[in-house]
Structure 1
Amino acid sequence: MVAFKHLDSRYDQGNSEFWKEIMMLSCYTHENLVFLLGFCNEGGGKILVYEYASCGSLDRHLSATTLRWM
């Protein structure tokens, strides 16, 4: 199972963000980071392909009302 991220130039997600994300995820591996499987950079479209995070994203967990900080 995979997840796709389509970068949208309307939200200032351009070339520099696209390549930064590729370089960062290509350099680092950790059990808490998703693995970058590949990317597409054709015809003006920029798509990143990740492993699917079955437990959801970190931002979803951090914004959960059930999260209690000790």
Structure 2
Amino acid sequence: MAVTRLVGECEKGTCATLYRVEGSGDLLVQGYDVENAGAVVGTDIPVGETVVRIPAEIIERYVREHLVR
């Protein structure tokens, strides 16, 4: 699966990052593992899915830099 890095918490390294999957437009999020996703109040995470935690700034920065003109 080929991906393009859109924006991250840091410019290099293994920080929280937002990627686009080439050819599909889907997004991948690299973030901090939420160990017990089922215990997150207000969610019902099904088998085969997971939850990651990322700084809100990642999404805000992407919107500012790529969607707002």
The two structures have a TM-score, normalised by structure 1, of: 0.28
Structure whose CA Rg is larger: 1
More helix by share: 1
Higher RCO (C-alpha 8 Å, min separation 6): 1
